Amino acid sequence: MILSTTNIDPEYDVLGVVTASLTKGVGLSGDVFAKMVDFFGGTSKAYTDTVEELKSDVFSKMIESAKNLGASAIVGISTSVTTLPLGRGGLIIVSAVGTAVRKRSA
């Protein structure tokens, strides 16, 4: 059975779905600042930088998984960023899913 996250060009073989997720804790002080930014408007550079760092690491993990399958590309990538409040801080969770593919030999 072939699993795919998108339509695949017939020139490619589907090798499988690859996923990755990473979680990072945020402390109370960062959470309070982010809530102030949300209330008054603006962008929280600290949260934005954390999310971008996590996304980069998630993509690196996906690439490693795809290479282990012999893939030359990942298509149909979808990402998700979730926050989870916990006690005096919280978690930022970044997940991604895509389909590992390899170009067919001529």
CATH of the domain at 83: 3.30.110
| Close Cβ partners of 21 (under 8 Å, ≥ 6 residues apart) | 58, 93, 94, 95, 96
pTM of the full structure: 0.78
Q: What is the pLDDT of residue 47?
A: 77
pLDDT of amino acid 26: 76
Per-residue pLDDT of the chain (106 residues), as tens digits, is: 667 778 888 899 999 999 999 998 876 555 555 555 555 666 667 778 888 999 999 999 999 999 999 999 999 999 999 988 877 777 889 999 999 999 988 6
Number of separate domains in the chain: 1
pLDDT of 48 reads 81
- Kindly state whether residue 4 falls inside one of the protein's structural domains: no
Q: Starting at the earlier edge strand, list the strands of the sheet with 12-26.
A: 12-26, 89-103, 73-86
The reply to whether 95 falls in a domain is: yes
- Identify the domain containing residue 45 by its residue range: 20-103
Question: Domain for residue 71, yes or no?
Answer: yes
Task: Please report, for residues 14, 45, 61, the alpha-carbon distance to residue 57 in angstroms, rounded to integers and kept in the order given.
Answer: 24, 18, 6
pLDDT at 43: 66
